[in-house]
Amino acid sequence: MSAPFLSMERISKRFDPQLSLGDRIAARFGARVEDRPVRAVTEVDLAIERGETLGLVGESGCGKSTLGRMAAGILGPTSGSVALDGVPVLREGRKVTTRVQTVFQDPFASLDPRMRIGDIVAEGPVAHGLVSKRDAPGYVGDWLARVGLDPDFADRYPHQFSGGQRQRVAIARALAMQPDLLVCDEPVASLDVSIQAQIINLFLELRRGLDITCLFISHDLGVVRHVPDRVAIMYLGRIVEIGETERIYREPRHPYTRALLDSVPRLVLDDDALVEFAAITGEIPSPLAPPPGCGFHPRCPLAVDGCRRAVPELLDDGADRRVACHVRAAERAAQSGENPGESIAT
């Protein structure tokens, strides 16, 4: 088997607080100054094959955007390495490749309001010699057409467009760089449902047409079911489950994945149905002070003693799926191990 196209190995990101002199003096005198580091991402292994779309889901603060930014080379990892096609994405803290491009959540913040959209899309390809200045207008027009915008819009400014159209411009800008990997960080989160559907359809079309590799980050489980081939679920800086999208949605193995899927409201079409809201008890722990052992154990219905002690490894769970859960690992060992008849229902 060849090496994966994008590979992230044992990648971690820690944010250390930058204490000012004043903070340090205050801390000396006993003031409560936050000096604990935030462990945003901890020892994540992730691989994406060429042409594949991998979804990355999780709730706010789980580290999914940080992981995406490291894949895109925007942030350097504290430890571990990111390589695209065997080539490191970062060298000495600087992004060395233009082969990864990013689409951000907020198309109102990610487009320069004082640039015409034609210039926004042309800027990167011209600077990197993908197209000459003379040919740029035609090149930009092609890309605008591909994302469903009228090429005549090139001399308009971002404020003349709606949110959905701006997101199309942002996608055209990323694609015009002819990237090998597209990192999309919540690309539809700030859009209306009907506009969201338009952008999701655009992604599905582009993926078929361009054979692009994509890391698709979202907190919206409905959106993620629709776009990626495989999906990874993150909780508190670690991947807890990864596998083929439909399999995970049909039969989640990690208790967190299950609880997360259960808490998504469903469309109710029965007149007298009383919906049970299946809420996960408790709050997401702070990444400043993650609980020992498995990060999910304080909220987990299956937690046993061992969960409080050791961090579960992301282990094979059959059918191209990996799960980081002590209870599931024990179940699996019991099924395939020395005592196939033994039940785990303890």
Q: What is the DSSP string of 134-155?
A: TTHHHHHHHHHHHTT--GGGGG
- List 70, 136, 217, 223, residue binding other proteins (CB under 8 A): 223
Which part of the chain contacts other proteins (CB under 8 A), choosing from 9-17, 111-119, 263-271, 289-297? Answer: 263-271
- List 92, 270, 305, 338, residue binding other proteins (CB under 8 A): 270
**Six token digits for residue 343:** 């039940």
Q: Is 264 exposed, middle or buried (0-12, 13-18, 19+ CB in 10 A)?
A: exposed
In the bound state with other proteins, the residue whose beta carbon lies nearer, of 110 and 245, is 245
Strand 53-57, strand 213-218: pairing? parallel
The reply on whether position 280 binds other proteins by CB under 8 A is: yes
Residue 82 bridge partners (DSSP): 8
Nearest to 10 by CA among 74, 81, 64: 81
The reply on whether position 247 binds other proteins by CB under 8 A is: no
Which part of the chain contacts other proteins (CB under 8 A), choosing from 77-85, 90-98, 267-275, 290-298? Answer: 267-275
In the bound state with other proteins, the residue whose beta carbon lies nearer, of 1 and 267, is 267
- List 2, 18, 60, 343, residue binding other proteins (CB under 8 A): 60
Q: How far is the CB of 162 from other proteins (least distance, A)?
A: 5
The reply on whether position 99 binds other proteins by CB under 8 A is: no
237: left (phi over 0), alpha (psi -120 to 50) or beta: left
Helix residue ranges, H only, 163-309: 163-176, 193-210, 221-226, 245-250, 255-262
The reply on whether position 103 binds other proteins by CB under 8 A is: no
Which part of the chain contacts other proteins (CB under 8 A), choosing from 80-88, 149-157, 158-166, 167-175? Answer: 158-166
Per-residue contact string for residues 2-41; x = within reach of other proteins by CB under 8 A: ----------------------------------------
In this structure, are residues 240 and 296 in contact, taking their beta carbons and an 8 Å threshold? yes
Contacts of 68 (CB under 8 A, 6+ apart): 56, 102, 183, 185, 215, 217
Which part of the chain contacts other proteins (CB under 8 A), choosing from 17-25, 137-145, 273-281, 305-313? Answer: 273-281
Task: Report the chain's C-alpha Rg in angstroms.
Answer: 22
- List 105, 196, 213, 257, residue binding other proteins (CB under 8 A): 196
**Six token digits for residue 141:** 């027009």
The reply on whether position 266 binds other proteins by CB under 8 A is: yes
Contacts of 127 (CB under 8 A, 6+ apart): none
The reply on whether position 320 binds other proteins by CB under 8 A is: no
Per-residue contact string for residues 61-90; x = within reach of other proteins by CB under 8 A: ------------------------------
> Phi and psi for 64 in degrees, rounded to 5?
-65, -40
- List 1, 21, 269, 289, residue binding other proteins (CB under 8 A): 269
In this structure, are residues 304 and 327 in contact, taking their beta carbons and an 8 Å threshold? yes
For the chain, the residue count is 346
Q: How far is the CB of 143 from other proteins (least distance, A)?
A: 21
Rounded-to-integer distance, Cα 68 and Cα 163, Å: 22
The reply on whether position 264 binds other proteins by CB under 8 A is: yes
- Interface ranges with other proteins (CB under 8 A): 59-60, 162, 164-165, 192-198, 200-201, 204-205, 219-223, 225-227, 245-246, 249, 259-260, 263-271, 273, 275, 277-280, 283-284
